């Protein structure tokens, strides 16, 4: 509480100074910024919650301003922004959005590094659409669906909009899977489900962001031939895989810096020493000499229009654990 009050005082002083120096432009006051932010993101609260959210917003704004000042001085490699999550504490954010259920997969189909040369840079973003999972803990379904969509688009020249909702509702315990819909899951479950049962399009079965009963049948289904688990803890193996196709990866994504990431190369420590540390599923769509590019499922207003660059580091688990459990579908 004391930390939030101090942050509130700091931002109030800074915005008040700007308010008086710029002809009393009301949009520069803290209240004005909060009001504009609410309108931009369609936020509405009860009177009691308004007080709490204003306090959290002020605390987060103080951190964003301090961090971005360091960026301007060359002391940081990425910027932060007041995105749609700016009214959440890190604890609230993690409870709602970071619900991946990590487990060591059976990994019967591991693709080991071959030693072949791979390009210096790869970028699969062209033609892909950034989606938004909302407050449902379905990152695993979105990561898998994104891998399927990218595979069909780039390798089959077929624009397919895969139904994440089918994974949420059907790749569950009823069919022998460990995934739990909006309570979290695992990308390999979605791939295995597609291999055995096929998956329909979002047009036929739209995303609702809630758990529903699995429908008995769909008109159209898309299948895969197999799916591959990439050799873990290997930068070369992941690079080789991404050079072939976008790859589903699990990462550790908690903390205010990840929550409010805006642009640049995310180089802060986010160590994932074990699989249990992983809490978010995304899609690796490319790499450069200094970073991986990941496609997220938090909408285009987060990060670099829905994407993030993760620094390449020496640790075998990779930045935020990206090397732990990569996998991809084979079409």
CATH topology of domain 96-330: Cathepsin B; Chain A (3.90.70)
Q: What percent of the chain has pLDDT over 70?
A: 89
Q: What's the pLDDT band for 104 if we cut at 50, 70, 90? A: low
The pairing of beta strand 78-80 with beta strand 110-111: unpaired
Note the pLDDT tens digit of each residue in 165-214.
999 999 999 999 999 999 999 999 999 999 999 999 999 999 999 999 99
- Residues noted as catalytic: 139, 280, 296
Predicted TM-score (pTM) of the model is: 0.91
For the stretch 132-159, pLDDT in tens is 999 999 999 999 999 999 999 998 889 9
Sequence spans of domains, the chain: 2-76, 96-330
Q: Is pLDDT at 328 greater than 80 in this prediction?
A: yes
185 touches 167 (CB < 8 A): yes
CB 247, CB 230: distance < 8 Å = yes
Whole-number Å distance between alpha carbons of 145 and 153:
12
């Amino acid at each position: 509480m004391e930390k939030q009050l101090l942050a509130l005082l700091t931002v109030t002083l800074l915005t008040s100074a700007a308010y008086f120096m710029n002809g009393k432009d009301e949009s520069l006051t803290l209240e004005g910024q909060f009001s504009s932010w609410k309108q931009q993101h369609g936020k509405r609260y009860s009177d009691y919650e308004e007080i709490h959210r204003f306090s959290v917003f002020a605390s987060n704004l103080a951190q964003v301003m301090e961090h971005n000042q360091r960026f301007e001085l060359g002391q940081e490699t990425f910027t932060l922004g007041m995105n749609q999550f700016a009214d959440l504490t890190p604890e609230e954010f993690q409870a709602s959005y970071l619900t991946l259920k990590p487990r060591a997969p059976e990994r019967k189909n591991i693709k080991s590094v071959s030693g072949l040369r791979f390009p210096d840079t790869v970028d699969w973003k062209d033609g892909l659409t950034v989606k938004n999972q909302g407050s449902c803990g379905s990152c695993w379904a979105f990561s898998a669906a994104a891998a399927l969509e990218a595979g069909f688009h780039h390798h089959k020249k077929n624009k397919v909009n895969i139904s994440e909702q089918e994974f949420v509702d059907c790749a569950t315990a009823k069919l022998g899977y460990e995934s739990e819909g909006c309570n979290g899951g695992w990308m390999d479950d979605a791939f295995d489900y597609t291999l055995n049962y096929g998956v329909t399009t979002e047009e036929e079965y739209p995303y609702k962001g809630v758990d529903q009963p699995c429908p008995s049948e769909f008109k159209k289904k898309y299948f895969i031939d197999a799916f591959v688990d990439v050799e873990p803890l290997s930068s070369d193996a992941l690079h080789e895989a991404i050079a072939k196709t976008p790859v589903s990866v699990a990462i550790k994504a908690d903390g205010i810096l990840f929550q409010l990431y805006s642009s640049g190369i995310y180089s802060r420590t986010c160590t994932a020493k074990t699989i249990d540390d992983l809490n978010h599923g995304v899609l690796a769509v490319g790499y450069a000499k200094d970073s991986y590019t990941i496609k997220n499922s938090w909408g285009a207003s987060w990060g670099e229009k829905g994407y993030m660059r993760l620094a390449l580091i020496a640790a075998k688990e990779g930045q935020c654990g990206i090397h732990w459990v990569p996998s991809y579908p084979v079409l």
